[in-house]
Structure 1
Amino acid sequence: MKRQLMVASLWSLVSINAISTVTAAEEPHVLMVLSSYGKQVDGETTQPGFEFDELSKAYQVFSANGIQITLASPAGGQPLADEYNRDKSYNKAFLSDPQAMSALSDTVKLAGLDGQSFDGVFIVGGKGPMFDLHQDSELQRLIREIYEQQGIVGAVCHGPAALVDVKLSNGAYLVDGKRVNGFTNLEETAFGKKWRPQFEFLLEDKLKARGGLFEQDGLMLNQVTIDGRLITGQNPFSTADTAVAMVRAMGIEEVNEPAYKDDRSVKLAELLFRDKAAALAQFQQSPEQYDVQMLAMIGVYQARFAKTQLQLHNAIELMTFAQSKFNHPMIELTIAQAYVRQNDLVEAKSSLQRAQKTYPDNEKIKAMLARL
Structure 2
Amino acid sequence: MYKLILPTFLFAANFTVYAGDAPNVVMVLSSHGKLDANGELVQPGYEFDELSKAYRVFKANGLDITFASPAGGKPVADKFDESKPYNQAFLQDTHAVSALSATYKISTLDADEVDAVFVVGGKGPMFDLHQHQPLQTLLANVYEQKGVVSAVCHGPVAFVDVKLSNGQYLVANKRVNGFTNQEEMAFGKKWRPHFDFLLEDKLKERGAQFTQAGLMLKHVEKDGNLITGQNPFSTADAATEVVRSLGLEPVKLEPNKDDKTMAWVAKIMAEGEQAVEAYLQNKQDYDTMLVAMSGIYQLQFAQNDTAVNRAVTLLELTQKEVNHPMLDINLAQGYIKLNKHQQAKAVVEKVVKSHPDNEQAKALLTQLK
1:98 aligned to 94, 100, 106, which one?
94
1:198 aligned to 182, 187, 194, which one?
194
Give me the whole-angstrom Cα distance separating, in 1, the residues matched to 2:348 and 2:41. 40
Q: Deviations over 1:77-128 (max 9, x none)?
A: 0001111111111110000001100110000011111111111100000111
Q: What secondary structure does 2:258 align onto?
A: helix
2:80 aligned to 84, 107, 111, which one?
84
Structure 1 position 131 matched with structure 2 position 127: yes
Contact 1:319 1:331 (C-alpha < 8 Å) held by counterparts: yes
Contact 1:161 1:203 (C-alpha < 8 Å) held by counterparts: yes
State which drifts further: 119-128 or 312-321.
312-321
Contact 1:323 1:331 (C-alpha < 8 Å) held by counterparts: yes
Contact 2:162 2:169 (C-alpha < 8 Å) held by counterparts: yes
The 5 Å alignment of 1:101-120 reads 101-120=97-116
Q: Show the counterpart of 2:332.
A: 336
Q: TM-score, structure 2 length as denominator?
A: 0.90
Structure 1 position 294 matched with structure 2 position 290: yes
In structure 2, give the amino acid aligned to 1:74.
P
In structure 2, give the amino acid aligned to 1:29.
N
Structure 1 position 273 matched with structure 2 position 286: no
Contact 2:121 2:155 (C-alpha < 8 Å) held by counterparts: yes
In structure 1, give the amino acid aligned to 2:243.
V
Q: Show the counterpart of 2:228.
A: 232
Structure 1 position 326 matched with structure 2 position 322: yes
Give me the whole-angstrom Cα distance separating, in 2, the residues matched to 1:145 and 1:2. 15
Q: Show the counterpart of 2:170.
A: 174
Contact 2:27 2:66 (C-alpha < 8 Å) held by counterparts: yes
Structure 1 position 29 matched with structure 2 position 21: no
Q: Show the counterpart of 1:246.
A: 242
Give the % identical residues: 54
Q: Show the counterpart of 2:279.
A: 283
Structure 1 position 60 matched with structure 2 position 56: yes
Contact 1:231 1:245 (C-alpha < 8 Å) held by counterparts: yes
Q: What secondary structure does 1:131 align onto?
A: helix
Give me the whole-angstrom Cα distance separating, in 2, the residues matched to 1:238 and 1:285. 25
Give me the whole-angstrom Cα distance separating, in 1, the residues matched to 2:212 and 2:273. 25
In structure 2, give the amino acid aligned to 1:257.
L
State which drifts further: 245-254 or 350-359.
350-359
In structure 2, give the amino acid aligned to 1:228.
G
1:345 aligned to 341, 355, 365, which one?
341
Give me the whole-angstrom Cα distance separating, in 2, the residues matched to 1:254 and 1:103. 24
Contact 2:325 2:351 (C-alpha < 8 Å) held by counterparts: yes
Give me the whole-angstrom Cα distance separating, in 1, the residues matched to 2:270 and 2:123. 32
Give me the whole-angstrom Cα distance separating, in 2, the residues matched to 1:245 and 1:48. 27
Residue 299 of structure 1: CA displacement? 0.5
Contact 2:31 2:45 (C-alpha < 8 Å) held by counterparts: yes
In structure 1, give the amino acid aligned to 2:363.
A
Q: Show the counterpart of 2:258.
A: 262
Q: Show the counterpart of 1:153.
A: 149
Structure 1 position 141 matched with structure 2 position 142: no
Contact 2:35 2:42 (C-alpha < 8 Å) held by counterparts: yes
Alpha-carbon distance change, 258 to 150 in structure 1, aligned in 2, over 3 angstroms: farther
Residue 355 of structure 1: CA displacement? 4.9
Q: Deviations over 1:277-335 (max 9, x none)?
A: 55333224432221101100010011112232222122111111122432211111111
Q: Show the counterpart of 2:2.
A: 2
Q: Deviations over 1:30-68 (max 9, x none)?
A: 000000111112122221111111101101110011111
Contact 1:299 1:318 (C-alpha < 8 Å) held by counterparts: yes
Q: Gaps spanning 5+ residues in structure 1: where?
A: 7-23
Residue 367 of structure 1: CA displacement? 2.9
Q: What secondary structure does 2:322 align onto?
A: coil
Q: Gaps spanning 5+ residues in structure 2: where?
A: 6-19
Structure 1 position 220 matched with structure 2 position 216: yes
Give me the whole-angstrom Cα distance separating, in 1, the residues matched to 2:250 and 2:52. 21
Give me the whole-angstrom Cα distance separating, in 2, the residues matched to 1:49 and 1:41. 13
Alpha-carbon distance change, 286 to 341 in structure 1, aligned in 2, over 3 angstroms: closer
Contact 2:240 2:250 (C-alpha < 8 Å) held by counterparts: no
Alpha-carbon distance change, 364 to 182 in structure 1, aligned in 2, over 3 angstroms: same
Give me the whole-angstrom Cα distance separating, in 1, the residues matched to 2:222 and 2:301. 27
Alpha-carbon distance change, 179 to 256 in structure 1, aligned in 2, over 3 angstroms: same
Give me the whole-angstrom Cα distance separating, in 2, the residues matched to 1:117 and 1:230. 18
Give me the whole-angstrom Cα distance separating, in 1, the residues matched to 2:47 and 2:250. 28
Contact 2:296 2:315 (C-alpha < 8 Å) held by counterparts: yes
